[in-house]
């Protein structure tokens, strides 16, 4: 009898030990899952925080030369900071009408385009029509001007288009004079 009760006590102790080890394993797994999910959310937030520097220009047709200069400076600094070249997945390129402007001297660019040049991004079929005292701007949104790296999900190229033609100066003047511009962007 004595051996049987000792065997039951030993079996009970083993069972309690297994329960404690199982509980500890469960808690460790839960903390690991929580930590992994937290890291994923932090990475996603960093990607969004980076990409928003570019997506702020999306669907806009009143991007100034100063804003273009700012984004060029940001791209240059980022490329230098990470010591990347054009073929690297972290390289950022800034283009105007399809031509890279990263090697542009910012001061010369600003001097050439001061206060009279405006750009648009992720729009197509941009038309500017004078309607009395108002200018009516019509365009269709597109997703062709901001490109993302497939692996990193980070923006690696942004393309701006200069507003050209007879209406460009009128549009620029209206923006500078704060006249009414009717936006009809679909």
pLDDT, average across residues 70-93: 88
Question: 51 in helix, strand or coil?
Answer: helix
Report d(CA 66, CA 63) in Å as an integer. 8
92 by DSSP, 3-state: which?
coil
What percent of the chain lies above the pLDDT cut of 90? 9
Which of 139, 136, 141 is closest to 182 using CA atoms? 136
Beta-carbon-side half-sphere exposure of residue 122 (alpha carbons within 13 Å): 15
The pTM score is 0.74
pLDDT for res 115: 63
Which DSSP letter does residue 5 get?
H
Cα–Cα distance, 57 to 85 (Å, whole number): 24
- For 87-124, the pLDDT digits (tens) are 888 889 999 888 888 888 878 877 777 766 788 888 88
Quote the mean pLDDT of the chain: 83
Q: What is the mean pLDDT of residues 139-154?
A: 86
pLDDT of 178 over the 60 cut: no
47 has a pLDDT exceeding 60: yes
Greatest Cα pair distance in the chain: 108
């Amino acid at each position: 009898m004595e051996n049987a009760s000792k065997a039951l006590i030993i079996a009970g102790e083993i069972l309690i030990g297994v329960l404690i080890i199982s509980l500890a394993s469960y808690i460790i797994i839960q903390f690991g899952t929580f930590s992994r999910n937290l890291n994923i959310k932090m990475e996603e937030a960093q990607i969004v925080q980076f990409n928003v520097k570019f997506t702020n220009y999306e669907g806009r047709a009143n991007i100034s030369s100063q804003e273009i200069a700012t984004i060029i400076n940001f791209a240059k600094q980022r490329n230098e900071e990470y010591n990347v070249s054009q073929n690297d997945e972290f390289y950022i390129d800034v283009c105007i009408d399809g031509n890279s402007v990263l090697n542009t001297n910012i001061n010369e660019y600003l001097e050439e385009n001061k206060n009279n040049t405006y750009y648009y991004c992720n729009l197509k079929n941009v038309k500017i029509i004078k309607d009395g005292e108002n200018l009516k701007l019509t365009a269709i949104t597109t997703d062709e001007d901001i490109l993302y790296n497939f692996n990193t999900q980070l923006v690696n190229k942004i393309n701006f288009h200069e507003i050209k033609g007879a209406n460009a100066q009128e549009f620029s003047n209206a923006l500078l004079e704060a006249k009414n511009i009717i936006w009809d962007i679909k």
